[in-house]
Chains A and B, each alone.
Chain A
């Protein structure tokens, strides 16, 4: 993703998400420039699935993505650090039922 403001004549930037195969989720795999949505999809296919890496492609304008602030990373994510009781491994059970 870019924090660049494109000059007037540059095609806008798009982020590309590819689904590797049916059943998997779409995964971010890179960016490209395209003038319109249709062209973005077409180029995403040409650039990111040349070796059958995908069965489905999403594109979204980079400037449309809302992201968390990296400066807030600690404040934002650290509160979960001490909530180990949210994980199944926190609970010690007798061996007979431990597959639960």
Chain B
């Protein structure tokens, strides 16, 4: 899973750097970025580089965690034991991905509880794709195929992010993620090739509902992403939103043909001169509506998260109390 590049970053510090020393540190940092060096947690970095990363990594982590909810919805209703085991493994992976990412975020000096608090109080965003409901079993397959497919497209370039702890987390995530997309496509293929007419209609309906939100996962068009240039300069972002989106469309159209479903875009067609698929205009007003809290499931998702956190409070406290007691006993024995 992935969070879209929403590009809502803090504005670059316009003011002049204060001291000669800071100036020198900045120059050294820029030179390292230019040389393709990785930045590690304890290295000096500009304030805004740190802020941008905390925002992006925590938003990414939140997306993994909230992303468990739409699919978790189907664990108890998966059609076979095999599909249930696969879905359980996938949802467990998403939890793990959230953990890797929170840990990467923590290296920047923000604790996990602080990041979670930002999510639970609505200050932090997560990918708007998870604010759509999973109405049928076909949705689970389509999430694997399209949503995880878009996520992988987005995430592979981040394996080369200049901030090393983030890049390392992404390498691990990408290695695990490819099964997510394949299992989804295979589940759909089974329904399309061996299923009933009703099942095929169900798959097509799910594709119709998820196609446009999947394209929105790559974030607003480049022209409306004022911070992209800075993120590219810093080596945090490697490929622009529009380029990634195009790559995703080009890769997905043949997969849809093989599957035997249509994509809900009358303007979708091969452009021989561009050697890419052209596609129709995206409804960005819907995107912003969902980002700003008015999607079909925003409230439900956040409420579920907050409830899980609050219901778990006594467990967290009890575990700490148990450890304090154990330590006291050890001291006594010593």
Contact = CB atoms under 8 A, between A and B. Distances in A.
A50 B316 contact: no
Interface residues of B, number: 30
A10 B96 contact: no
The binding surface of chain A is classed by DSSP as loop
Given A7-B111, A11-B319, A35-B323, A47 B96 contact: yes
Interface in A1-25: 1-7, 9-11, 13
A30 B100 contact: yes
Contacts of B316: 9, 11, 35
B110 interface: yes
Contacts of A69: 42
Interface stretch (B1-9, B101-109, B276-284): B101-109
Given A9-B113, A70-B43, A3 B107 contact: yes
B103 A10 contact: no
Contacts of A33: 112
Nearest to A73: B43
A70 B320 contact: no
B92 interface: yes
Contacts of B93: 50
A36 B329 CA distance: 14
A10 B113 contact: yes
A92 B72 CA distance: 64
Interface residues of A, number: 25
B307 interface: no
Contact of B107 (A1, A39, A47): A1
A32 interface: yes
Given A7-B111, A9-B317, A2 B96 contact: no
B112 A9 contact: no
Interface in A34-87: 35-36, 39, 47, 50-51, 67, 69-70
The binding surface of chain B is classed by DSSP as helix
A51 B179 CA distance: 12
A36 B111 contact: no
A36 B106 contact: no
B320 A47 contact: no
B41 interface: yes
B320 A9 contact: yes
Contacts of A3: 41-42, 107, 109
Contacts of A35: 316, 319-320, 322-323
Nearest to B103: A31
B54 to A, nearest CB: 11
B96 A50 contact: yes
B172 interface: yes
Contacts of B41: 1-3
B99 A47 contact: yes
Nearest to B95: A47
A82 B287 CA distance: 58
Contact of A4 (B40, B92, B110, B323): B110
B99 A32 contact: yes
Interface string B300-334: 00000000000000001101101100100000000
B12 interface: no
A29 B175 CA distance: 14
Contact of B319 (A13, A39, A51): A39
B176 interface: yes
A4 B319 CA distance: 21
18 contacts: A1-B41, A3-B42, A3-B107, A3-B109, A4-B106, A6-B113, A9-B320, A10-B113, A11-B319, A29-B172, A30-B172, A31-B103, A35-B319, A36-B326, A50-B96, A51-B176, A67-B42, A70-B40
10 nearest interchain CB pairs? A35-B319, A36-B323, A31-B103, A70-B42, A2-B106, A35-B323, A10-B113, A4-B111, A47-B96, A4-B106
